[in-house]
């Protein structure tokens, strides 16, 4: 007992009314370093103890404003300056869209910051080696009793006087709390070999785990990146379809695609000339659509008026004029045949044009020919 230093003297009270009365008396006697312990917060206790109002509200304000400014500045810099992108036609710094994240970061920082500063700055927790821990006193005040502890560090502290005061106030179970010898002699030494080994071991484990994750695990299915994953390249040989097959299978012989029009006159323009008739009438609408398609698909080589003055002059062989005697003497079916099958260096236009559009083009070509070689009665 003798070599121990006194931390303080404690007393136990039974009811909340007694403890609040005791708190008032103790603070009126001029003690400043004392504490009241109760299993739950007591109404009116801060006033009885003459405590200053809690400053945590200001902490929350500062943390909250920091969060708001930090979040807003971060988003403004990232989206407005570091990597500006136009998203949905909004400005680079769309302020309304920043509100949700700003709010969330404000709340996050204000809450977490206030709590952490309360625990670590104001309370100096975690502290499991406080002299009050593991005493009978603490066991009672954590459950159903109320206690007062006057610390030895108080300027007015005098063992006998404090005991008398507590007895006078009606306290029971008055005890002297002392520091533990181990606590007093304990020194933190970060170069203790156990601690150093622990540091090295955790560094090794963390590095190994990081390496294994980033350089090994991320290349093992299903964790591998998409470019590493199993896939079938276009026109590569396919193991799935059997030997010699490709990733894109050729359809079996005789396969007919849905909605397809089979052209029965392939390789036989004369027959097409004789048998095919234009199902459309040269109405204004048909001519207009024919002109539209002609201007898109035909005019690059044949020219807008069909004289063969291609815009692509020189890059492809110039086509003959559409106004020659030969072509004017062709039937509609023959022109349709050339659009469908191609001729010389002209390819087929079947993939670009429907049958109806081809006939509309035929009508328009006829109109061009008629315009260049007008008959006598057209002039009237």
Partner 1 sequence: MKIDALKDPSVIEGHPTFLDIDNQISAPLDKPLNTKYLLALAITSTMLLIGVISIGATFYYGIGLWGNNNPVGWAFDIINFVFWVGIGHAGTLISAILFLFRQKWRTGIARFAEGMTIFAVMTAAIFPLIHVGRPWLAGYLFPYPNQHHLWVNFTSPLLWDVFAVSTYFTVSFVFWYIGLMPDFATLRDRAKNKIKKIIYSILSLGWRFSNRHWQHYEMVYLILAGFATPLVLSVHTIVSFDFAVSIMPGWHTTIFPPYFVAGAVFSGFAMVQNVLIIIRKIFDFEHIITLETLEKMNKIILATGTMVGYAYGMEFFIAWYSGSQFESFVFINRAFGPYAWAYWIMVSCNVLFPQLFWFKKIRRNIPIMFVIGVLVNVGMWFERFVIIVTTLAHDFLPSSWAYYKPTLIDFGVLIGSFGLFFTLLLLFIKFMPVISIAEVKAVLDGAQPHHNNNGHQGGNDGK
User: Which residues ranging from 172 to 231 are in contact with partner 1 (CB under 8 A)?
Assistant: 218, 221-223
49 versus 372: smaller Cβ distance to partner 1: 49
Token pair of 303 as six digits: 């020219």
Q: Interface residues for partner 1 in 142-171 (CB under 8 A)?
A: 142-144
Q: How many CB atoms lie within 10 A of CB 348?
A: 15
Near partner 1 by CB under 8 A, which window of 49-57, 169-177, 186-194, 349-357?
A: 49-57
Q: In angstroms, what is the minimal distance from the CB of 52 to partner 1?
A: 9
Q: In angstroms, what is the minimal distance from the CB of 58 to partner 1?
A: 11
Side-chain half-sphere exposure of 189, counting CA atoms within 13 A = 7
List Cβ neighbours of 279 (8 Å cut-off, separation of 6 or more): 359
Calculate the alpha carbon distances from 88 to 71, 78, 167, 204 in Å: 22, 17, 77, 47
47 versus 239: smaller Cβ distance to partner 1: 47
Q: Interface residues for partner 1 in 54-83 (CB under 8 A)?
A: 54, 56-57, 60, 74-75, 78-79, 82-83
87 versus 184: smaller Cβ distance to partner 1: 87
Token pair of 240 as six digits: 């799935």
Q: Determine the Cα–Cα distance for residues 353 and 364; give it in Å rounded to an integer.
A: 14
The SS3 assignment for 318 reads: coil
Q: Interface residues for partner 1 in 8-37 (CB under 8 A)?
A: 15-17, 19-20, 23, 35-37
193 versus 240: smaller Cβ distance to partner 1: 240
Rg (CA), the chain: 48
Q: Which of 42, 307, 310, 372 binds partner 1 (CB under 8 A)?
A: 42
108 versus 176: smaller Cβ distance to partner 1: 108
Q: Determine the Cα–Cα distance for residues 326 and 339; give it in Å rounded to an integer.
A: 16
Q: How many residues bind partner 1 (CB under 8 A)?
A: 71
Q: Interface residues for partner 1 in 121-140 (CB under 8 A)?
A: 122-123, 125-130, 132-133, 138-139
Calculate the alpha carbon distances from 278 to 25, 281, 356, 359, 362 in Å: 115, 8, 9, 6, 8
Q: Interface residues for partner 1 in 268-327 (CB under 8 A)?
A: none
104 contacts partner 1 (rule: CB under 8 A): yes
Q: Which of 367, 216, 226 is nearest to 304 (CA)?
A: 367
């Amino acid at each position: 007992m003798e070599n121990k230093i006194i931390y303080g003297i404690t007393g136990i009270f039974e009811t909340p009314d007694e403890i609040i009365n005791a708190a008032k008396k103790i603070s009126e006697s001029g003690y400043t370093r004392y504490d009241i312990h109760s299993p739950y917060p007591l109404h009116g206790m801060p006033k009885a103890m003459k405590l200053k109002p809690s400053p945590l509200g200001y902490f929350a304000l500062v943390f909250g404003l920091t969060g708001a400014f930090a979040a807003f500045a971060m988003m403004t810099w990232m989206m407005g300056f570091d990597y500006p992108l136009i998203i949905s036609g909004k400005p680079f710094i769309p302020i309304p869209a920043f509100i949700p994240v700003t709010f969330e970061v404000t709340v996050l920082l204000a809450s977490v910051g206030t709590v952490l500063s309360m625990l670590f700055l104001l309370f100096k927790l975690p502290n499991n080696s406080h002299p009050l821990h593991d005493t009978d006193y603490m066991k009672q005040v954590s459950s159903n009793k109320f206690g007062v502890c006057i610390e030895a560090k108080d300027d007015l502290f005098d063992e006998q006087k404090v005991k008398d005061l507590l007895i006078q106030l009606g306290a029971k179970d008055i005890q002297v709390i002392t520091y533990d010898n181990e606590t007093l002699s304990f020194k933190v030494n970060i170069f203790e070999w156990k601690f150093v080994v622990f540091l090295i071991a955790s560094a090794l484990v963390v590095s190994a785990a990081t390496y294994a994750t980033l350089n090994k695990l991320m290349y093992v299915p299903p964790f591998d990146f998409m470019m590493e994953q199993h896939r079938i390249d276009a026109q590569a040989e396919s193991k799935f379809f059997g030997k010699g097959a490709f990733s894109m299978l050729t359809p079996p012989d005789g396969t007919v695609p849905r909605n397809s029009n089979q052209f029965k006159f392939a390789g036989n323009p004369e027959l097409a000339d004789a048998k095919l008739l234009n199902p459309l009438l040269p109405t204004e609408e048909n001519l207009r659509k024919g002109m539209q398609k002609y201007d898109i698909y035909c005019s690059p080589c044949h020219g807008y008026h069909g004289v063969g003055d291609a815009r692509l002059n020189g890059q492809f062989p110039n086509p003959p004029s559409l106004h020659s005697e030969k072509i004017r003497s062709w039937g509609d079916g023959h022109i349709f045949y050339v659009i469908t099958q191609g001729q010389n260096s002209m390819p087929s236009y079947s993939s670009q044009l429907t049958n109806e559009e081809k006939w509309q083009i035929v009508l328009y070509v006829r109109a061009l020919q008629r315009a260049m070689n007008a008959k006598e009665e057209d002039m009237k």
